[in-house]
Amino acid sequence: MEPIAFSYSDIHKTVAELAERIQASGFAPEAIVAIGSGGYIPARIMKTYLLVPIYTVGISLYLEDKTTLPSPRKIQWLDEVEKKLTGKRILLIDEVDDSRTTLEYCIRELLRHQPAKLGVAVLHNKQKEKKGVIPGEVAAYWAGRELPNAWIKYPWDAVEIDVHELNARNQEQPTAL
Ligand code: G4P
Ligand code: MG
């Protein structure tokens, strides 16, 4: 399947729509936790709409040479800050729900700090068989777009941003699932 490219503008609009759905649900997060690095930019855009602070965690499932680790590894975690999450309504943000391995790992780690409520928002959910699960303690899950199981090209990975943005605009729009 052909890769699907999204422009910065596409992503901003997807986050705006997600923010609307989150607000309409009555969830009212008090803080955002961004899963780095893919979740950083979506989380920052979300802050424009939800006006709450962002905390970040760095997790990787792959090494530099692209070999997969047996389980996700913390590159950076919340330490002192995590105490501030206890008793709060938290919105966890990542760019893509792919295998769900990283997502499940982060959710379980955050749940240990007993947030009042934990919601999860991703820009894109790939419709495929998942290795991880969204634990039942998660109050709500939102995906900005449902996509087929193709490789997604994000603007922040582009070395030539003008070429990326042009490709994103000129490609056939991915069919909504
Ligand atoms: P999940 O729990 O959110 O489903 O993530 P999973 O562990 O399956 O994904 C492992 C890594 O692969 C993540 O990056 C994720 O961002 C990346 N990934 C998965 N599918 C795509 C895709 O279609 N396009 C792009 N560009 N990346 C994808 P990571 O190892 O956590 O690092 P980072 O890239 O976020 O820094
Ligand atoms: Mg990621």
pLDDT (average), residues 13-31: 98
Rounded to two decimals, what is the model's pTM? 0.91
Contact 143, 124 (CB under 8 A): yes
Q: Mutation test of ligand 1: which of 96, 108, 129, 134 has the most ligand atoms closer than 8 Å to its C-beta? A: 96
CATH of domain 11-146: 3.40.50.2020
pLDDT band at 61 (very low <50, low <70, confident <90, very high): confident
How much is the pLDDT for 46?
98
pLDDT band at 68 (very low <50, low <70, confident <90, very high): confident
Residue closest by Cα to atom 10 of ligand 1: 61
pLDDT band at 81 (very low <50, low <70, confident <90, very high): low
Active-site choice (10, 94, 97, 98): 98
Closest CA to 127 of 142, 145, 101, 107: 145
Task: Name the residue ranges covered by the structural domains of the chain.
Answer: 11-146
